Every structure is written in C-alpha cells, then in structure tokens.
Structure 1
C-alpha cells in the first residue's frame, strides 16, 4: 500500500528477495508528498532512535552507490548544517562516513549566518525528485512489480479481494487511518519554492534560524528553498506570504540566489509520528506490516526501512 519513495523502495527489496509484489496506491510517486521533498539526505522531523540512525546509514550507503549512475538523479553534494544552540542534536553524524566540525570563522564565506553560529560540514546524497522517483518507479516495474491506482478505505476488504500472503502499509500520512490503531501520527506541513540554479552545488540547513526553518538545496536544474514545519496543519495550499518569508530567509543565507526566477512551488504534508513505525500489526488474519511515520526523512530512511521490512517478511 503506497507508491511514494517508501512504498517503491519496499517493493524493490521484496522483489529482490524473491517475492511477487503488487502495489496499490491512490496516486503515483510524482503526485505524492515524496515529490515535494528537497530530497537531501538528513533525518529531519523524525525522532532519532538507534533504529532510525541505522536506517539512515543504510540508505546513505545505497544512495551513494546510486549516485555513481547518471540516470538515477542522485548526486553526492557537500554542504553545511548550521547550529545556533549548544544543545543541537548531532546524533545523525554517526550515519555519515566523514564530517567536519566548524566554528564561526570556518563557515563558508558566502553564508550569512549571524553571530554565535557553528556548523557541521559533510557530503551526503541529494536526489532530483522527479528523476529519482521516475527511475525508482521504472526499476520496480522492470523487476516485475505490478501497480494499480485505487483508493483504499478498508484493509480487510483489500485482504479479502487481493488475497495477498502479506500486506505492507506504507501510505504516508494516510497509513494511521487505514490501520485504525494509531493516534500518534500527525501532519507537518512543509512549503518550498524552487528557484533557477545559478551554478550552486553546496547545500545549507539552518533549522534554528530566528525567522524560521531555512534550507537551501541545489539540485541539477533548480534550488529548493524552504521551509515550514507547521505541526498539525492539513493545509495543502501554497501561501504567498509564507513563500515571501521563505525567500527572504533563503536569500539572506545564500545571496547568490538574489534575482533568480521562481520555477515552481509546492506544499507537502510530512507524515510525522512520535516514532517511526516499522513493525508487524496484530489483528488481521494474515501478516500485515506498517512502515510509515518518517516525517521529513522519507528519502533518508527509505532503503534502510525497506530492508527492515524485507527482513521481517523473510525470503520467498
């Protein structure tokens, strides 16, 4: 259930393990929240447990391998996570092969972070979402995965009508309603604006910017500027005032973007949860598994959690 980056990754790993896989989804990957993401490897808006960090590390390794291929849309890019608080959580650094601590004097000269700011500099995967999701979709089809576009409201009807040996719920924000045993899931509204890329290759994240969450992620043909983190909001409409505030913060942080035209804009609802849910779900007449609640870290955890689901189900 689900054809976003998580669902497609799971389908890939289960097929490689020898299973025959069918995907049911209300929309394809390019219409899902995955398509709105900046797709920078970073465990954003997700509780960082040992399990999450392990999945992040597995995904980093897989995406690094895919970055060697020109058709995947994945590239390894260097960048900086700015830190404005002494208690900033840096546990994610254990999942990257190399990183460097920077004090204020070592921050890149073209950043304008303000005073009292330090940072972590590292190289991580960045995916151009349209290219990557098309590649991943084509890859699972080539493996023999079948896909059907359909709205699903009742998992028991799916079990009766589709007669699967096992079912995996990876439907993002809708997963909790489908399973009906979860009151821990909620949306986090993210809004981004995409600018033409003047030649930037380095990304920057400024989670604690006084004006609000700020990130600038250059990709092949655009630069994703964000963002927002509106917890509990189901609003999927672009807000022009919010967009102007995002641009003010992004351009102050990276002045090289001044004057670049807007290419597109998007809003997505990150499927957040008190903790990522990757487990068997009781109460059904055959195996049902959950894989959702990734917040803003769907790309970051995708291959790791797909591997975990494949391990729970076992080989064919």
Structure 2
C-alpha cells in the first residue's frame, strides 16, 4: 500500500508510534525481529520523569506531551499506568526558579528530614506516572489489534526494503540499520520482588554506576539500578543482584520480607542526543528515525511518537 507506514521495532517507542499512526487513520504495520516481551522495554522500571537530554528544547516538549498522555492513561487501571508518590533523593530543590522539566511534577515539595532514609541528606516528593511495563505493553498491543495493525515477526536488514514510509524505532539496532556508531549499549539489571504492600516509589539521582530505586506495581516491585556502558552480555550478575537487594532493603525494610521473583537485564540504547529526524534514501524511501532515548524511553515515548507521526505523514 502506497499510503502505508511501516514501523520497525516493537518496544515502547515502536508500539507507541504505531498506536498514534493507526488511531489517526494511517494504515500501519509493525515489523520486529523479536516479540515485544523480549525487548528492553519489557524490563524497564518504569517511571515518567523529567528528561535533560539533547536536543533540550525538543525533549522538554516531548516530556510534557508524554506526561499529558500518561495522566490520561492513569484514569484507566487496565493500562498499567498509575500516578504515585515518588521520593527522589540526592539533590535539594534549588532556592531560585526550578528547571521547566521539574515544574511539570505535580505536588512537588521538599522532603523533611524525617522522611529521608538514612544516608540521604536531601530529597523531594512529587506525584508522577509509574508504569507497570508488562501490563502497559499489553495495553498498547491490544490497541494496535483493535486498530487492525498486524505485527510481523521478521528481521529487517535494510530500512529501505521495509517500505516507502518507514519509522525506525529499533533502539540499539539502529547502530547497523542507520549506520549510527554513536549508539552504544548501557547494561541494566533489575531484581523483581513480590510487593509487600508498597505504594510509593523511590529514585536516587546521580551518575554513579549503581544507585537505589524501586518502583512498586500491584503484584511486584522492580528494584534497581545498574548502569554499565558498552556491555553487551545480558547474563544476570549475582553480585549485582545482592547489592541491589541490600540497597533497596536498607531504604525500605519491608522489602526484606518480599520474595525474589526473577532477575532481568536489558541494554539501554544510549546516544549523545535523542534522534527524531527525517532521512530520504534513494529519493524514494522516507525514513523517520526515533531512537537513542537511553533510560528515558518511557518518559519521552508519547512525545517522540507524535513527532514521528507528524514527520512521516507531513501533517
């Protein structure tokens, strides 16, 4: 079909882009070399939060758009999205004007000293969307099915062969498909526990290789976090698991009574800046690239999807 758009990739970026296109009436097809449940998106925490990546003016816009979409999704409990209290530690709120990304956070206030776990001197509370990714990705797949979108499990080796209008949402796969050697993997590992009754999420800010975070969902808690650049090996590391559990249980003692369900790993597609751009190949194939989100794929997903849809349709 000449008017068909082919989305390559079935992680959160690909599915969201396909939903935006299909629900606006654009004939859409998804190509992926692996099922959604085998993508990095499946093992994300996941949390909408402020993004401070280049291109800064665009990521600000995409962050705001995504927040708007997630707030609407949170009104339906079947989506896997809910608005939760999140304690963020590591930085105090500045005395002057807040960055615009931060002002988007509802109910933002400084944490009192008695609200901070031992070892943390400053932090803040805010209400943010927390996303249970297995449930949420299933929600996106159901919307695609309802819109008549077929997901073909096939390997794409050349974007120009996929169709005449293509959106590239392949994450790390874009290193080969787009010839982008600025992409690199960042290994992450999460430990999934049963939920002992937690509602509030916790996130430690910082650029260290290891930090503390936990995202509670109705049936489980996703505990992290780990950041190891340029590691492709997805084998879970028992020492990392032990350190994640020790940190999270120190912050939240109720996790000591939780049972470990599994340990999951993934490769974040890191890039100096998020890429949502247009490329023409051979004057016949229009490609929109939507990748390079690193750890903010969920936070930017709806904004980047809507921008990609506008670029590929010219509307």
TM-score by length of 2: 0.90
2:3 alignment counterpart: none
Counterpart selection for 2:250 from 249, 252, 260: 252
2:156 alignment counterpart: 152
Q: How much has 1:210 moved relative to structure 2?
A: 7.6
Alignment of 1:245-284 (within 5 A): 245-284=243-282
SS at 1:6 equivalent: helix
Deviations 1:194-233 (A, max 9, x none): 1111110001111339882110111111111101011111
Structure 1 residues 58 and 211: alpha-carbon distance in aligned structure 2, compared to 1, 3 A threshold? closer
Is the Cα contact below 8 Å between 1:206 and 1:215 reproduced in 2? Answer: yes
Is the Cα contact below 8 Å between 1:48 and 1:91 reproduced in 2? Answer: no
Q: How much has 1:252 moved relative to structure 2?
A: 1.0
SS at 2:119 equivalent: coil
1:187 alignment counterpart: 185
Is the Cα contact below 8 Å between 1:41 and 1:124 reproduced in 2? Answer: yes
Counterpart selection for 1:29 from 28, 36, 43: 36
Structure 1 residues 209 and 288: alpha-carbon distance in aligned structure 2, compared to 1, 3 A threshold? closer
SS at 1:296 equivalent: helix
SS at 1:12 equivalent: helix
Q: How much has 1:41 moved relative to structure 2?
A: 1.1
Aligned residues: CA RMSD:
2.3
Structure 1 residues 201 and 282: alpha-carbon distance in aligned structure 2, compared to 1, 3 A threshold? same
Deviations 1:119-146 (A, max 9, x none): 1211111111111111110101111112
Give, in whole Å, the separation in 1 of the partners of 2:156 and 2:209.
40
- 1:73 is the counterpart of 2:80: yes
Structure 1 residues 50 and 205: alpha-carbon distance in aligned structure 2, compared to 1, 3 A threshold? same
Q: Which has the higher contact order (CA 8 A, sep 6+)?
A: 1
- 1:112 is the counterpart of 2:117: yes
1:16 alignment counterpart: 23
SS at 1:190 equivalent: strand
Give, in whole Å, the separation in 2 of the partners of 1:311 and 1:258.
48
Structure 1 residues 46 and 122: alpha-carbon distance in aligned structure 2, compared to 1, 3 A threshold? same
Alignment of 1:162-201 (within 5 A): 164-180=163-179, 182-201=180-199
1:126 alignment counterpart: 130
Counterpart selection for 1:135 from 127, 136, 139: 139
SS at 1:213 equivalent: strand
Q: Structure 2: which 5+ runs fail to align? A: 1-7
Q: How much has 1:18 moved relative to structure 2?
A: 2.2
Give, in whole Å, the separation in 2 of the partners of 1:47 and 1:268.
23
Give, in whole Å, the separation in 2 of the partners of 1:12 and 1:280.
20
Is the Cα contact below 8 Å between 1:190 and 1:230 reproduced in 2? Answer: yes
Give, in whole Å, the separation in 1 of the partners of 2:207 and 2:20.
38
Structure 1 residues 302 and 240: alpha-carbon distance in aligned structure 2, compared to 1, 3 A threshold? same
Structure 1 residues 253 and 47: alpha-carbon distance in aligned structure 2, compared to 1, 3 A threshold? farther
Q: How much has 1:242 moved relative to structure 2?
A: 0.7
Q: Structure 1: which 5+ runs fail to align? A: 159-163
Is the Cα contact below 8 Å between 1:34 and 1:129 reproduced in 2? Answer: yes
1:99 alignment counterpart: 108
Is the Cα contact below 8 Å between 1:46 and 1:295 reproduced in 2? Answer: no
